[in-house]
């Protein structure tokens, strides 16, 4: 479920050495499955362990995950990176905003998962996002742009060279193209 690098494990062991005996860590997701999902790590003293927690053993400590967060922490990674600016603990949970779907899920569910877990995080740096409106009978994914993408002068390039290329590569034989239905209006919200 969660991969913790050796550097991060050593960091947690060091932090936990200053805590009361039996304290572990808790990895959690606030508002899992939503666009506002946030991941976190905290101390988990023995009296904070819940009966339905998943307990994952690591070298020198255990990680507790509550039942609600568990499906959204699939493929999560925690690392401890040191560079010239200092040290930083990083937690990446690609499924926090949307639970990973199975390979046999419907095409629209699998596309929606890719949009939420891969495409929208990239567009968010420009204040933008996309939403799947429908998949037509001839395999066209109809998308609606929002936020900073609405009215952006690069939206056609983003659609054809980025999103369409990525989705066609991921869903060969199932998807034949991508279409934008947004009525773009340039304004102060648009990314320049």
Does residue 79 belong to any structural domain of this protein? yes
Domain that holds residue 69: 3-92
**Cβ contact 40:28 at 8 Å:** yes
Any binding-site annotation on 39?
no
CATH number of domain containing 136: 3.30.300.130
* Rounded distance between C-alpha atoms, residue 26 and residue 50, angstroms: 11
**Cβ contact 25:42 at 8 Å:** yes
User: 86 with 154, same domain?
Assistant: no
Does residue 127 belong to any structural domain of this protein? yes
Over residues 73-95, mean pLDDT:
90
168 confidence band (pLDDT: 50, 70, 90): very high
Number of domains in the chain: 2
pLDDT of residue 109: 86
186 confidence band (pLDDT: 50, 70, 90): low
**Closest of 2, 173, 8 to residue 87, by C-alpha:** 8
Residue 191 pLDDT more than 50? no
Does residue 144 belong to any structural domain of this protein? yes
53-57, 100-104, 111-115: range with lowest mean pLDDT = 100-104
Any binding-site annotation on 152?
yes
Does residue 101 belong to any structural domain of this protein? no
What average pLDDT does the structure give for the chain?
A: 86
User: 55 with 132, same domain?
Assistant: no
Does residue 102 belong to any structural domain of this protein? no
User: 50 with 115, same domain?
Assistant: no
Does residue 97 belong to any structural domain of this protein? no
Does residue 98 belong to any structural domain of this protein? no
């Amino acid at each position: 479920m969660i991969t913790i690098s050796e550097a991060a494990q050593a960091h947690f062991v060091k932090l936990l050495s200053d805590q009361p005996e039996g304290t572990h860590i808790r990895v959690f997701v606030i508002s899992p499955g939503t666009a506002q999902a946030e991941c976190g790590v905290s101390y988990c003293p023995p009296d904070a362990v819940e009966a339905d927690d998943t307990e994952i053993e690591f070298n020198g400590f255990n990680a507790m995950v509550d039942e609600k967060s568990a499906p959204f922490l699939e493929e999560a990674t925690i690392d401890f990176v040191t560079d010239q600016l200092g040290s930083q603990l990083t937690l990446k949970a690609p499924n926090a905003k949307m639970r990973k779907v199975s390979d046999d899920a419907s095409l629209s569910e699998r596309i929606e998962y890719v949009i939420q877990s891969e495409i929208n995080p990239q567009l968010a740096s420009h204040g933008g996002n996309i939403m799947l409106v429908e998949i037509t009978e001839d395999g066209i994914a109809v998308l609606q742009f929002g936020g900073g993408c609405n009215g952006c002068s690069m939206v056609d390039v983003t659609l054809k060279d980025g999103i369409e290329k990525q989705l066609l590569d991921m869903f060969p034989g199932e998807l034949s193209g991508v279409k934008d239905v947004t009525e773009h209006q340039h304004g102060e919200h648009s990314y320049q």
